[in-house]
Structure 1
């Protein structure tokens, strides 16, 4: 172990001494790095670059970048600096939302949160089906914490029978100090998880009770589809690859009927899924892209789309059945949707298979011709079928599928649930 004498200098030294110390430290770091050795600072073994950055950092300000506030206490400051050096400098950039790039057709959503002296990754799941307006569920998946005895942080898998080791491999920045837009997890103890052949019927029933309200018609309908999802979900525990998910914003200068973002949506027997609503640069086209998917329309595929110039205002009589709806021609409207009445009549067709009437009123904000994607199992023979994109509020929209004779509803995941 090599100690550099200037690393023990107090932080309140005069600026000219601090400047000399930083220069000497940089030189020492370069010399030590060339010998494959480490620099020691306040009890932590770190790369020279990270040690230098930690020293130069105004700790309370740096921690505020991660929404952490600390009190001015010597013991707390020491622990906080260890946490900053050992964990945040490399893994702090993991904070945010990530979409799973593996797990077959189902995909997944991960949220990484920075907490005082620890980082936790959560698997994000929709609410228990079919309760669309309930909050999302957060299942702890991994933890990154400080170890006073080890030079590296302790990374643990929180799934399985007990807490155990997990490897996180990051795509690094150019200077090899920060995780950037992709990372991979790999469980280091498969024996700490149940193998697929170890699960019993009781395990499946327990899992179904977590995912479905089996007392509702929608819950009973979904059981068969959810067995396949159960098997796929167990592979999630062993690890996967994640890519950063940037939430879309309203295009500059555009007016849109509902803001973009993440929504929970109803997909018949597939249950509730998460999609991302996004607009093109001009704000004239909208798409819903699946973040979590199913055997028919997998993750990352477009589920619905619409063009805002194709707006319409319908009477109640035109909405009585799907036949009357299909008789309405898909044409560009004579006036922009913004100039149409702020509320217009809405009626669920008499022959609509899925109604969800308890979530809806008798009016909507806007309505547009659009298309929804359908496919056979395994994403075979995909095609887009006509439908109506209907806005009910700033947090709720629907898609009326003409060929499927059903209505899907989508409820916003609010920022408060993702903070």
Structure 2
């Protein structure tokens, strides 16, 4: 109750009322706290009057109606009445009797109190992407007790993609008084301090720290950098000096400089789900070569699936479409022994790419893409040992399609053995050894600073409902993705078109 009292801007109680004064105080509180113009409260007041009139006696002579105490009203009606009273009256009202005290602990009353304070900040609840150059990020703004907290979500330490996400608070809005709140910056090493939030529009807001000296550590920049390495990478400076020194200095510089000044956030939505999707869309964490782990959003668009980067790196910035999967062209991988030969896998994929190019030339640049999946083509590649090789005339090497494989159920636990071809680099050797199905896809590669971007062929490997992989043929690299299991509220797109517009918006910022 003391916490609730602070929410309403009142101090601690000064003691209990005498029991013989409680009845009079209840009547006084009800009389002094009448609602102003709220139609709902007028309805409640009319109901209370009707209850009072119901007790009129049936004597022949006129007699004054008996007085109706608040204690005689149903608890549901008392909740409505108390929720409409000024917050400063509620602590005193709670001292009247046990019944009032119990009713005043009802969540409904305090939710209304919170909504009054949260009204100004209600639009910032949900998922956001910070504008930090090419690096992006994932911010989740939630209500937590008497606070609105902005949590920055970060992937686990490289290369453990199956580990849970890491997160830390960047700011919080403290619900101190009625219709007002205090914004606090949580970044730095000296505890919460004064900050500011400006809501630019429905899908954009900015934060600013008013006490940036709280971000500094006594040991200076060197100590800050070492602390950051331990927290963000789980390693010491000496461990990674020879690997990523230049990149780490750049990342740390951008990270600290942005939080010393104003930082802008843009809203992002979780992808909508459809019954015919290959797997449930959502956020995944994946390995990106020397860049560590990054966050990717997997979404489905008719005959294609796309992976959009929520976090990025100096080569491929956040917001770009990192992989695209052609759901119309399945690939049947060879048996495990032949799969170890990278040249064999490359041959199969390049043949599919040539077929895709021919089909796109006939159907137009968009390939006739539309909403609603069609049945994928027969998986391309050599027939498994248990199947008969194709006999149709006109089929070239590697074009054998096995109808049985095309109809293979895509259920967990059913599939074929999988192993990475020799020469393909992988930061995490603990990848699944069975897969459900594979598709032809393309991956985006570019030079430092997003120079000379191009889409190159690859293989999308679906392992199970929560994991998939992608083999980049040109880079001879394998990326493993694992689903982000965190539950995000207030993150659903209001419409499919709103989600598509969001994707275009975040991609245009780094194009």
TM bucket (normalised to shorter chain) is: 0.7 to 0.9
Q: Distance in 1 between matches of 2:141 and 2:415?
A: 39
Moved more, 159-168 or 263-272: 159-168
SS of aligned partner of 2:442: strand
What's the TM-score, normalizing by structure 1?
0.75
- Quick check: 1:357 aligned with 2:429? yes
Match of 1:227 among 241, 244, 249: 249
The structure with more strand, counted as a fraction of residues? 1
In structure 2, the partner of 1:374 is 445
In structure 2, the partner of 1:346 is 418
- Give 1:395 shift: 0.7
In structure 1, the partner of 2:194 is 165
Q: Distance in 2 between matches of 1:369 and 1:219?
A: 38
Please tell me whether the aligned partners of residues 289 and 300 of structure 1 are also in contact (alpha carbons under 8 angstroms): yes
In structure 2, the partner of 1:83 is 114
**After superposition, what is the alpha-carbon deviation per residue over 1:281-314, rounded to whole angstroms, capped at 9, x for unaligned?**
x2x1011111010000001011111101111111
Q: Distance in 1 between matches of 2:134 and 2:453?
A: 14
Q: Distance in 2 between matches of 1:219 and 1:276?
A: 31
In structure 2, the partner of 1:246 is 269
Residues 82 and 366 (structure 1), Cα distance of their counterparts in 2 relative to 1, 3 Å cut: same
Match of 1:112 among 121, 141, 149: 141
Q: Distance in 2 between matches of 1:84 and 1:16?
A: 21
Q: Distance in 2 between matches of 1:360 and 1:16?
A: 62
- Give 1:384 shift: 0.9
- Quick check: 1:184 aligned with 2:206? yes
- Quick check: 1:154 aligned with 2:163? no
**After superposition, what is the alpha-carbon deviation per residue over 1:184-227, rounded to whole angstroms, capped at 9, x for unaligned?**
112222333239x9843333222222222449999974454333
**After superposition, what is the alpha-carbon deviation per residue over 1:256-284, rounded to whole angstroms, capped at 9, x for unaligned?**
1x22110111011111111101111x2x1
Residues 146 and 403 (structure 1), Cα distance of their counterparts in 2 relative to 1, 3 Å cut: same
Residues 409 and 218 (structure 1), Cα distance of their counterparts in 2 relative to 1, 3 Å cut: farther
SS of aligned partner of 2:176: coil
The number of residue pairs the alignment matches comes to 353
- Give 1:86 shift: 1.6
Please tell me whether the aligned partners of residues 214 and 220 of structure 1 are also in contact (alpha carbons under 8 angstroms): no
- Quick check: 1:322 aligned with 2:342? yes
- Give 1:85 shift: 0.9
Residues 74 and 346 (structure 1), Cα distance of their counterparts in 2 relative to 1, 3 Å cut: closer
- Give 1:82 shift: 3.5
In structure 2, the partner of 1:286 is 305
In structure 2, the partner of 1:265 is 286
In structure 1, the partner of 2:369 is none
In structure 2, the partner of 1:15 is 43
- Quick check: 1:124 aligned with 2:159? no
Q: Distance in 1 between matches of 2:482 and 2:240?
A: 17
Residues 131 and 268 (structure 1), Cα distance of their counterparts in 2 relative to 1, 3 Å cut: same
- Quick check: 1:73 aligned with 2:75? no
SS of aligned partner of 2:180: coil
Moved more, 180-189 or 77-86: 77-86
SS of aligned partner of 1:203: helix
Q: Distance in 1 between matches of 2:234 and 2:224?
A: 16
Q: Distance in 1 between matches of 2:331 and 2:135?
A: 34
Bigger RCO of structures 1 and 2 (CA < 8 A, at least 6 apart): 2
Please tell me whether the aligned partners of residues 277 and 300 of structure 2 are also in contact (alpha carbons under 8 angstroms): no
Please tell me whether the aligned partners of residues 275 and 289 of structure 1 are also in contact (alpha carbons under 8 angstroms): yes
- Quick check: 1:310 aligned with 2:329? yes
Match of 1:93 among 102, 113, 123: 123
In structure 2, the partner of 1:205 is 226
Residues 360 and 417 (structure 1), Cα distance of their counterparts in 2 relative to 1, 3 Å cut: farther
Residues 246 and 113 (structure 1), Cα distance of their counterparts in 2 relative to 1, 3 Å cut: same
Residues 260 and 13 (structure 1), Cα distance of their counterparts in 2 relative to 1, 3 Å cut: closer
- Give 1:352 shift: 1.4
- Quick check: 1:42 aligned with 2:86? yes
Please tell me whether the aligned partners of residues 127 and 488 of structure 2 are also in contact (alpha carbons under 8 angstroms): no
Please tell me whether the aligned partners of residues 355 and 406 of structure 1 are also in contact (alpha carbons under 8 angstroms): no
Structure 1 vs Structure 2 CA RMSD: 3.3
Q: Distance in 2 between matches of 1:203 and 1:390?
A: 40
Please tell me whether the aligned partners of residues 111 and 121 of structure 1 are also in contact (alpha carbons under 8 angstroms): yes
Q: Distance in 1 between matches of 2:435 and 2:468?
A: 9
- Quick check: 1:300 aligned with 2:311? no
